[in-house]
Homo-oligomer: A and B are copies of this chain.
Amino acid sequence: MAESQEKEQPRRRQARGERRIAQLLEAAASVFCTTGYTAASTNAIAREAGVSPGTLYQFFPNKEAIAIELGDRLMHEMRDTFGEALAPVDPATPLEEAVGAAVDRFIAFNCDHPVFFALMHGPDIPGHMAEEHDALHATLLARIEGLLSSLLPDARPVDLGRTAHMCLGLYKAGLELVLAHEGAERDAYVRELKNVLIRYLEPLAAGRPGPARDSGAEATGVR
């Protein structure tokens, strides 16, 4: 029962193999982006990578493993990009600044890796991948909750959880619109998304530091 979990890895990869794996993952990302996970065929992924179906199955036991490995690498890259820099926040940070920075980083990451959205958003997530999906979701929620609790120390835990869910949902909605546009229009949607989140959270942040709150519209960042 010592090493029964990880039963086998006598597989010594060569440099060529690692290259093929990266190539296949890149191809898979491309295909997943355009067709979604379920509609993506392994043959299409292999074709996109310029290899045969058999070669694909030399490196991945099944279709699901491709998506899982892709998800794992994205998660790692995500942590590397803004590791712990996102969760904790100085309680003195103005709300607008904290929200704006968080949104900018996430948007940048998602624009660089559109697969992430495709795998997250897809309603087609068979069996074992749902766990990965839920784990990521829970991680993000915990991060957001932590960030919110530092921004809104007065909120009750129950409300905080709900607020975190709302923020994540709102972000996903905004992300979809952002990804659907380009250039100046995309920037405008990013601006709108920030407005949504800031205005949603603002009334919850009573008696906090930052710019004096008045009733003016311009002061809340309409433009």
User: Chain A interface (Cβ within 8 Å of chain B)?
Assistant: 36, 38-39, 121-124, 162-163, 165-166, 169-170, 172-174, 176-177, 185, 188-189, 192-193, 195-196, 199-200, 202-204, 206, 213-215, 217, 220, 222
Residues A217 and B203 in contact, CB atoms below 8 Å apart: yes
Residues A200 and B204 in contact, CB atoms below 8 Å apart: no
Question: Which chain B positions have C-beta within 8 A of A203?
Answer: 195, 199, 217, 220, 222
Q: Determine which of B166, B188, B220 lies in contact with A177 in the assembled complex, contact meaning CB atoms within 8 Å.
A: B166
Q: Determine which of B170, B202, B215 lies in contact with A173 in the assembled complex, contact meaning CB atoms within 8 Å.
A: B170
The winner among A188, A217, A220 for most chain B CB atoms within 10 A is A217
For the complex, give the distance between the alpha carbons of A189 and B158 in Å. 12
Closest approach, in angstroms, between the C-beta of A140 and any C-beta of chain B? 14
Residues A170 and B196 in contact, CB atoms below 8 Å apart: yes
